[in-house]
Chains A and B, each alone.
Chain A
Amino acid sequence: QVQLVESGGGVIQPGRSLTLSCTASGFTLNHYGMHWVRQAPGKGLESVAHIYYDGSNEFYTNSVRGRFNISRDNDKNTLYLHMSSLRVEDTAVYYCARDRIPGGSYQAAFWGQGTLVTVSS
């Protein structure tokens, strides 16, 4: 059974760094494209980052490009989001999600339950 479990969220001061983890089970991580999507409190969904199944390409939304980095450890079957120079507006629940089919697809079909990041002084 496909399962994604995010961890690493918490309260962090502006300007600091934080790394989120997404531990996958029930499938092999390096067969699937993976996503990070966030949701600010009471707001809608925002796609943040995407990595191809083979790690050959990474994509970022404009507001985080240069500050966030998506990566994966295939041996640990874990996806990461390293966030630096954090801003108050980065406060959100961060979800990781998996592509619907291996090799890449146009849908994020399986989602974790999210981890809350609060950026506040």
Chain B
Amino acid sequence: DIQMTQSPSSLSASVGDTVTITCRASQRIRNYLNWFQQKPGGAPNLLIYFASTLQGEVPSRFIGSGSGTDFTLTINGLQPEDFATYYCQQSYSSPPWTFGQGTKVEVK
């Protein structure tokens, strides 16, 4: 099975900061990498797919990059509504697809 490792597991930031979350796959997954945002008590929300494509009306301050085994999610100019937990997920292998363990973005 493909393992996904996110870092850090949590971070503290202020409104307006730029934050970066990394995700590493245990084997090459091309660009089959999704990013989700989850707020407390809510369902996950797809932000980015194919490593860098924004889903729907996701704001452009969310930027995904990477290919192969190493990926990043960058949030430029953190907004109050961005404090949440973020998960990466690979969709390269046969489903069900594996998630990273999550990164909690907290208020500094």
Contact = CB atoms under 8 A, between A and B. Distances in A.
A binds B: yes
Interface size class of A (residues with CB under 8 A): 20 to 34
Interface in A10-31: none
Contact of A100 (B32, B49, B96, B98): B49
Nearest to B55: A109
A35 B99 contact: no
B96 A47 contact: yes
B101 interface: yes
Contacts, number: 63
A35 B95 contact: yes
Interface string B27-62: 000001010101000111110011000011000000
Interface of A: 35, 37, 44-50, 59-62, 95, 97, 100, 106-109, 111-114
Interface of B: 1, 32, 34, 36, 38, 42-46, 49-50, 55-56, 87, 89, 91, 94-102
Quick one: which of A59, A107, A109, A114 has the most chain B CB within 10 A?
A107
A111 B102 CA distance: 18
Contact of B32 (A46, A50, A106, A108): A106
